[in-house]
Structures are given as C-alpha cells and as structure tokens.
Amino acid sequence: MKTNKILIEKLQSIYEYDKEFFTYNEQEKDMWRDKIHEAKERFKIFFDLENDYPVKSQREITIPQNEWSPTECKFRCEMYSAGGDWEVPVRYFRIQIVSGYCYNDNEIKNGHYYMGRNSSSNSHFIFIPGKKEGNYHLVPIDKKGERSWSAPDNNQYYDNIDPKANEKDCWKAVEDYLKEMVNKEIEHLHKEREEKEGEET
C-alpha cells in the first residue's frame, strides 16, 4: 500500500496541471507601452521610455460611493519613473481597477475624445501628474501648435535649483483623479436614469 501511495504521488507530480503554462510577459509590456503612449497624448506630457522602472511604491486606493454594490471602488496603483538617458525622469502611475466603475477620457484616431467606461473588462490605464500636481520639474514645449509639457533635459536642469518631482504630491494627485473619475461615472448614471425615465413618461 505504501509503495502504491508513493507511486501515485510521483505520477501526480509528473502530470500536475500547470496553471501558468503560458507566459504573457511581452504582451503585458506591449499593453502598458501602448497605454503610456495614449496617456502622453491625452495629458500632453511627453517623455521617453528608454528608462521605465517602478519606484517600489504601491497602494490600493478605495473611493467610497453609494450608487452600486459593492459600495466602493478599488484601484491598485503603482508609481513609475520614466525618461531617456538625457532626461530628468517623470513620475506616472499604472492603475488597475479591481472593483467598481469609473469614467476615463480616451483619445481616438481622429483626434476627438470620448468617454470610456473602465471596469473589470477594461481595467488598466495610466495617470500622469501634471506640472502643478507633483511633476514640478516639467518644462513647457510647443507640440503641433499646442501647449504641452516635457521632461527637462539633463543639460538644462540644475540640481538643488530647479524644482524636483514630489512623490507625495503625485500620490495626492492620482487619488484626486480617481475620485473625479468615479464622480463622472455617477454623473453619467444619473443622466442615463433621467433619459430612461423621460422615455417612459
């Protein structure tokens, strides 16, 4: 009996089902890179991705609301630092919505904006704090006739003189942004209800 048990355990170890049989590392990198490029155009903040690293700062941010169940929206946020070798890095956030809903501005190919719903099926997006939101070192540029912002060039940046990115303020900015997005979702829910009630009367 003991021999049979050992044999069964060995067979199970050989034929154990591997839930992570496939790897998706490259697809994940491509997904985030595409979303970062979209966000740079949307926020009008530009920087290179030659050096793109997490700063080992992660938080789960909860935004309470009373419009649907569960009565809170949860977001997993991680701060990254990115820029070319010649640039002073910019802080940005990779975000995943864990529960709830929110609205987010997205750019489409013809240059117009539409409101896109973020949920578990469309759960990943990017936030880049602006010049007044923590990335205080950003410099103004003219891109395609529009006022935009860029990571400063190392050769034109003076340490201890020019402003630095403030990570604490960047975290406050992303929390304010998520609150705004949840409030947008609530506003759209109210509008949809009003329109539906108007159709029924």
Q: Where does residue 109 rank: exposed (0-12), middle (13-18), buried (19+ CB within 10 A)?
A: exposed
Closest to 181 in 3D by CA, of 135, 112, 126: 126
CB of 50 within 8 A of CB of 86? no
How would you classify the pairing of strands 45-46 and 146-150?
parallel
Q: Please check the confidence at residue 127 and state whether its pLDDT lies above 60.
A: yes
- pLDDT category at 115 given cuts 50, 70, 90 is very low
Q: Please check the confidence at residue 88 and state whether its pLDDT lies above 90.
A: yes
Closest to 133 in 3D by CA, of 104, 171, 181, 183: 171
Two structure tokens written together for 104: 């987010």
Two structure tokens written together for 119: 């949920």
pLDDT at site 140: 93
DSSP state of 173: H
> Mind listing the pLDDT tens digit for each residue in 26-70?
999 999 999 999 899 889 999 999 999 999 999 999 998 888 777
Single-letter residue type at 29 = K
- pLDDT category at 106 given cuts 50, 70, 90 is low
Q: Please check the confidence at residue 112 and state whether its pLDDT lies above 60.
A: no
